[in-house]
Chain A
Amino acid sequence: MTDQLPDLEIYIMKANPEAVHSWLASLFKVEIIKSAAGHHHYRCNDMDVFLNEGAEKNFASLWFKQNDTTWHTDLELARAAHSALETEIRCSAEGWKEGDESAASDNGWIKLNKGQEKSFEWH
């Protein structure tokens, strides 16, 4: 069984903050703590969640600083986000996880696009 990661982070292509907020609000009780200049801080139940729009090229970072969700890994969160937001999502393949010798770990990242999952090397 996969251990629950203490935090979760994914990268969302051309993220629409309103769509992300709506998606989070469909899952958690969401309070907007701060929202300015591309940086959004939400309180989702008791978790601090940050959306940073200018994270990397066309990608925004969505970071659950605490993980009180049902998602164990970034990939599980990425799958949920990809399904809900219908845009490309990237996440770390967690190459250092013990016993993880999957091909996905070789390149460090997983890209979810149009229902497909593919490992790749970012940059």
Chain B
Amino acid sequence: MSLYADIYPVTTFPDLVPQREHRNSCILRLERLENTIRSYHGDELHHEWLNDYLDAGLELAQEAGERDLIRLQESWLRRIYNTLRDTGVNVSCDEAWRHQCLEYLYQPFFALQHLYRAQPGSNSRIKTLSRDFSFISRYVI
């Protein structure tokens, strides 16, 4: 007799299906925007892309955090941080666009900092992140 037979009945978690579909659509939206942001070479600014991108990434991170998936939560935040930072220092992109991406960098930075501060023993991560952000801030100025 299975140890889990009484306390863990076979289930397909039907209540999780809508959540999963929403998450998948959020991931698709994030990926599309990420490609757009990284490959954009125009000089017209698009706040709406960056706002939508941050909304999708922060939502995915928050949702992972609510389910105690700590590394996934960090991974989403790191991903949007890296996208904005990499685009911001990509010299093949227009300077105004690069500058705008870097102006949005503080949002994932603060979210990551908040996450690390909530985790005991994460001092080295905070230090590394802060050093990176500080370097980028100086680069922008």
Interface set of A (CB-CB < 8 Å, partner B)? 3-7, 9, 11, 17-18, 21, 32, 35-38, 40, 50, 52, 54-56, 61, 63, 74, 91-92, 95-98, 108-109, 122-123
In the complex, B137 has a CB within 8 A of chain A: no
- Does B22 belong to the interface (CB within 8 Å)? no
Q: Which chain B residue lies CB-closest to A50?
A: B68
Q: Which of B110-130 contact A (CB under 8 A)?
A: 119-122, 124-125, 127-129
How many residues of B are counted as interface, with CB atoms below 8 angstroms from the partner's CB atoms?
A: 29
Considering the chains assembled together, what is the distance between the CA atoms of A50 and B75 in angstroms?
19
Given the complex of chains A and B, what is the CA–CA distance between A9 and B2 in angstroms?
A: 26
CB pairs A–B below 8 angstroms (30 shown): A3-B124, A5-B121, A9-B69, A9-B71, A17-B4, A18-B2, A18-B3, A21-B3, A36-B8, A37-B8, A38-B11, A50-B68, A52-B68, A55-B72, A56-B72, A63-B68, A92-B71, A92-B75, A95-B78, A96-B124, A96-B128, A97-B125, A97-B128, A98-B124, A108-B75, A108-B79, A109-B75, A122-B72, A123-B27, A123-B31
